[in-house]
Amino acid sequence: MSDENAKCSIASRPISDFRLSIITLLGVSAFLGITPFAVMRYLQGNLLAGLVDTTILLGICSALVYAWVTGDTRRSGVVVASVACGGAVVVGIVVGEPGLFWLYPCLVTTFFLVNPRIAVALNIASVIALMVHGGAFRSDVQMWSFASTAFVVSACAYVFAHRNHDQRERLEHLATIDPLTGIKNRRSMDQELDLAAANAERTGLPYALVMLDIDHFKKINDEHGHGVGDGVLTDLLALLKQNTRKSDQLFRYGGEEFVLLLPGVDGIGLKAVMNNLQQVLRKYMKHPGGSVTASFGVALLEHGESVDSWLARADAALYEAKEAGRDRVVFADAQRTPELAAETA
């Protein structure tokens, strides 16, 4: 990966990881908001309060660094939420009434940092701890008013966080699923191919990549309409799903092009799989003007090969299949592996 791509990847992480963005926001806010108070308390000679502020700041910043370095936002979120709530309680006990205000932002952010059960437990424990100590309150009325407002804030934060989570899941679904066919789109494919390449390097499991293109699809749309063309696409996907394994993954690459990821197959086994798919499509794919065929380009992932190179070899094999007359399978590895010789119509 180039330095420019690495910088773009780092810069985009808070955008793609919602919890990391919250941890980062809270870390920056803690640094800007707590540091002046810590300095002021040291200058005033209130060493205990200054040490509490410093400890909170170090705890949150350490969790922030850990989240960025490791990508483990789940543990980091628990640490940040615990430090923030625990620190707010200690500040309330040490400083008194002015310290109570620090708990409110903590009650809100816990629902964005950890799962709802942990957030509820942290919020309840924080409020009860302050109420049991009681030193921060001037009267019972103030204490119960604080408990009531803390409950309302927590309830509103829970509802908002829950709705936000649902909306993000829907957006992620829309961003990774092709709306017409219901299968994964190119964005999702890029992620899965990266995972496959990493797994192949770690375990040595072979992976085959198949790019397939429906022959003369534009002619089908032009002569019979896009409704018929959409029907051909859905029929193709149904046949592919029926004749592949659950571990195989299918993606829409664009238009009438699809990508099939086949883990754990190579050599003669891969050739048999491709022959079967070709024969199934020849036999069952129909439209008002006659039969429908497809061209296939196949590439086995090589050791140390990049995903871009892998895709390019499969695409070149597909192009060769179409140039050779369509309705055939071409293996990118055929020259190096004789048993993967191209199957012609």
Which residues are marked as active site?
256
**Residue pair 243/280 in contact by the 8 Å Cβ criterion:** yes
| Sequence-ordered alpha helix ranges (H) in the chain | 3-16, 18-43, 47-70, 73-95, 103-113, 116-133, 140-176, 186-203, 217-224, 226-242, 267-284, 307-323
Q: In which order are the strands placed within the sheet that holds 294-300?
A: 249-254, 257-263, 207-214, 294-300, 329-331
Q: Which two tokens stand for residue 153?
A: 């804030």
Q: How far is CA 260 from CA 214, 243, 299, 314, in A?
A: 14, 12, 11, 11
**At 332, which helix (H) or strand (E)?**
none
Question: Based on C-alpha coordinates, what's the Rg of the chain?
Answer: 29
Reduce the DSSP state of residue 212 to 3 states and report it: strand
**DSSP letters spanning 166-177:** HHHHHHHHHHHB
**Residue pair 343/275 in contact by the 8 Å Cβ criterion:** yes
Q: Which two tokens stand for residue 28?
A: 């920056």
**Residue pair 14/20 in contact by the 8 Å Cβ criterion:** yes
As a whole number of angstroms, the distance between CA 155 and CA 153 comes to 6
**DSSP letters spanning 24-49:** HHHHHHHHHHHHHHHHHHHHTT-HHH
Pairing of strands 329-331, 294-300: parallel
